[in-house]
């Protein structure tokens, strides 16, 4: 059961001028569920992406990088769930390219103007015949109001579709932002079997958009972790259709850029948090705030160390205020010359550690009480500087083991 997360109301997902979405049941891994999704972009859209750093980047990720590097304007995205097309060698690459050719033929553009994405089981050949057969259904269903269906078509072991929208006023124009994502398992440190697509009708020049997608990822998807594993297929794509009535944002000093960025981060962070809320077997949603660090990198190492420690995560599952494990995880972050006597730690707002040891005011019943809610914030002050960061995660339950032990059966 996801933690305080339900499917978005389809009406809440705003259509983005210049973006149409189609979907189909291709039966890639299981019959009777949506597993193929097509995005068609109007001419003039700018697209930028960030991808997994795993050495085994899947075939579609390799093709995405190629097509984006080639610089042809992107006109379509094809996403399949159920098969990751990873570790599939030259035939897998050929399949990814062939997918692009099929889409190109169907909507009338060049193959290099199509970006392919896959998520699901690794090391198995992509069932091209099923994709080819279902593609016409995707094309036929293309529509601007299909964000909710699109969100459901990219799910694997997600239990609910994930999407969100917002608007932001940039001078006279009110631009829209809508995003969808899928997550669960194999998340961190640079995203997940995570696919996320954010589209806005704002007009943003290509170089500005490329820098923007990295900054947005660093403040959202790169701050979420389920189990410390990182997928071979992670992709986050930012689309700016430029259909809003505005002069394009053409350089990084444009005063409208911070406003747009904040709105994009707002939606992306909600999606990232939704991924942690729907982590495999999650029963709790955990926010790890680290401040007082000497650098943001140091803050991030501590936050991820705590968020990924199996001993901390099982204690969170048990609602056990096991302060020792928190200290252990912080102490393992490899901070040089760490004066542990400066450490302060609050759990759900209650000061539990001060001066590196149990707080004088701390009572076990307070710790037990603040561990009960489904959402818990761990607030760590290292007392070393002014850098800070936030990481979102979930606990580690019997169901995590169950889901991952039985994934292929």
d(CA 319, CA 367): 9
Q: Is the peptide bond before 273 cis (omega within 30 degrees of 0)?
A: no
Torsion sign across C-alpha atoms 294, 298, 304, 310: negative
Based on CB atoms, which residue is closest to a copy of itself, 143 or 189? 189
Q: What is residue 58's three-state secondary structure? A: coil
Provide the minimum distance between the beta carbon of 323 and a copy of itself in the complex, in angstroms, as a whole number: 5
d(CA 151, CA 162): 6
Alpha-carbon distances, residue 66 vs 97, 183, 198, 328 (angstroms): 11, 24, 20, 43
Based on CB atoms, which residue is closest to a copy of itself, 123 or 173? 123
Burial class of residue 158 in the structure, from the number of CB atoms within 10 Å of its CB (0-12 exposed, 13-18 middle, 19+ buried): buried
| Interaction between residue 315 and a copy of itself (CB under 8 A) | yes
Alpha-carbon distances, residue 131 vs 14, 19, 74, 134 (angstroms): 28, 21, 20, 5
| Interaction between residue 311 and a copy of itself (CB under 8 A) | yes
- Restricting to residues 42-61, name those near a copy of itself by CB under 8 A: 53-57
Per DSSP, 224 falls in state: B
Number of alpha carbons in the 13 Å side-chain half-sphere of residue 371: 20
| Interaction between residue 225 and a copy of itself (CB under 8 A) | no
Stretch that binds a copy of itself, among 94-102, 146-154, 160-168, 314-322 (CB under 8 A): 314-322
Based on CB atoms, which residue is closest to a copy of itself, 227 or 278? 227
| Interaction between residue 408 and a copy of itself (CB under 8 A) | yes
| Interaction between residue 85 and a copy of itself (CB under 8 A) | no
Alpha-carbon distances, residue 396 vs 46, 71, 311 (angstroms): 39, 43, 9
d(CA 209, CA 181): 19
Q: Which token pair is 65? A: 């990088």
- Restricting to residues 347-376, name those near a copy of itself by CB under 8 A: 353, 355-358
- Restricting to residues 229-248, name those near a copy of itself by CB under 8 A: 229-232
Alpha-carbon distances, residue 111 vs 70, 96, 105 (angstroms): 12, 11, 8
Provide the minimum distance between the beta carbon of 302 and a copy of itself in the complex, in angstroms, as a whole number: 10
Based on CB atoms, which residue is closest to a copy of itself, 45 or 84? 84
Instruction: Fill in the per-residue mask, 261 to 300: x = in contact with a copy of itself (CB under 8 A), - = not in contact.
Output: ----------------------------------------
Q: Indicate which residue of 156, 193, 230, 390 is catalytic.
A: 193
Stretch that binds a copy of itself, among 102-110, 111-119, 121-129, 140-148 (CB under 8 A): 121-129
d(CA 157, CA 176): 29
Annotation says 193 is catalytic: yes
| Interaction between residue 87 and a copy of itself (CB under 8 A) | yes
Provide the minimum distance between the beta carbon of 122 and a copy of itself in the complex, in angstroms, as a whole number: 3
Stretch that binds a copy of itself, among 38-46, 70-78, 168-176, 227-235 (CB under 8 A): 227-235
d(CA 233, CA 230): 9
List 341, 361, 372, 386, residue binding a copy of itself (CB under 8 A): 341
Provide the minimum distance between the beta carbon of 91 and a copy of itself in the complex, in angstroms, as a whole number: 9
| Interaction between residue 335 and a copy of itself (CB under 8 A) | yes
Instruction: List, as one string, the DSSP characters of 67-104.
Output: HHHHTPPP-EEEEEEEE---S-HHHHHHHHHHHHHHHH
List 30, 215, 363, 402, residue binding a copy of itself (CB under 8 A): 402
d(CA 378, CA 309): 13
| Interaction between residue 228 and a copy of itself (CB under 8 A) | yes
The catalytic residues are 193
Name the residues that contact a copy of itself, by CB under 8 A.
Answer: 53-57, 84, 86-89, 92, 121-123, 185-186, 227-232, 308-311, 314-315, 317-318, 320, 322-325, 327-335, 338, 340-341, 353, 355-358, 396-398, 400-402, 404-409
């Amino acid at each position: 059961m996801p933690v305080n997360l339900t499917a978005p109301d389809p009406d809440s997902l705003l259509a983005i001028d210049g973006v149409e979405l189609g979907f189909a049941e291709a039966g890639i891994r299981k019959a009777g569920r949506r597993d193929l999704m097509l995005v068609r972009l109007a001419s003039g859209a700018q697209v930028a992406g960030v991808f997994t750093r795993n050495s085994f980047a899947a075939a579609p990720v390799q093709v995405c990088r190629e097509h984006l590097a080639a610089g042809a304007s992107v006109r379509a995205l094809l996403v399949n769930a159920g098969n990751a097309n990873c570790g599939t060698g030259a035939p897998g690459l050929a399949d990814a390219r062939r997918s692009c050719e099929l889409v190109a033929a169907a909507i009338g553009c060049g193959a290099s103007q199509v970006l392919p994405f896959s998520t699901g089981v690794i090391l198995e050949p992509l069932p091209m015949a099923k994709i080819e057969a279902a593609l016409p259904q995707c094309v036929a269903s293309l529509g601007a109001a299909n964000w909710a269906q699109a969100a459901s078509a990219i799910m694997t072991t997600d239990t609910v579709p994930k999407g969100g929208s917002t608007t932001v006023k940039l001078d006279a124009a009110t631009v829209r932002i809508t995003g969808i994502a899928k997550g669960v398992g194999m998340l961190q440190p640079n995203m997940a079997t995570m696919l996320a697509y954010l589209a806005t009708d704002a007009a943003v020049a290509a170089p500005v958009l490329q820098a923007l997608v990295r900054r947005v990822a660093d403040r959202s998807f790169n701050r979420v972790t389920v189990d410390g594993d990182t997928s071979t297929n992670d992709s986050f794509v930012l689309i700016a259709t430029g259909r809003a009535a505005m002069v394009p944002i053409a350089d990084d000093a444009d005063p409208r850029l911070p406003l747009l960025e904040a709105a994009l981060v707002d939606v992306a962070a909600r999606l990232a948090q939704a991924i942690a809320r729907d982590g495999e077997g999650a029963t709790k949603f955990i926010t790890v705030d680290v401040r007082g660090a000497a650098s943001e990198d140091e803050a991030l190492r501590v936050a991820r160390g705590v968020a990924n420690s199996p001993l901390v995560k099982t204690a969170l599952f048990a609602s056990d205020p096991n302060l020792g494990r928190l200290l252990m995880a912080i102490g393992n972050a490899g901070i040089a010359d760490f004066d542990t006597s400066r450490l302060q730690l609050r759990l759900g707002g209650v000061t539990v550690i001060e001066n590196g040891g149990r707080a004088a005011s701390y009572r076990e019943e307070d710790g037990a009480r603040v561990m009960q809610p489904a959402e818990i914030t761990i607030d760590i002050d290292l007392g070393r500087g002014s850098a800070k960061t936030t990481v979102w995660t979930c606990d580690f339950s019997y169901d995590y083991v169950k889901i991952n032990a039985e994934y292929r059966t």
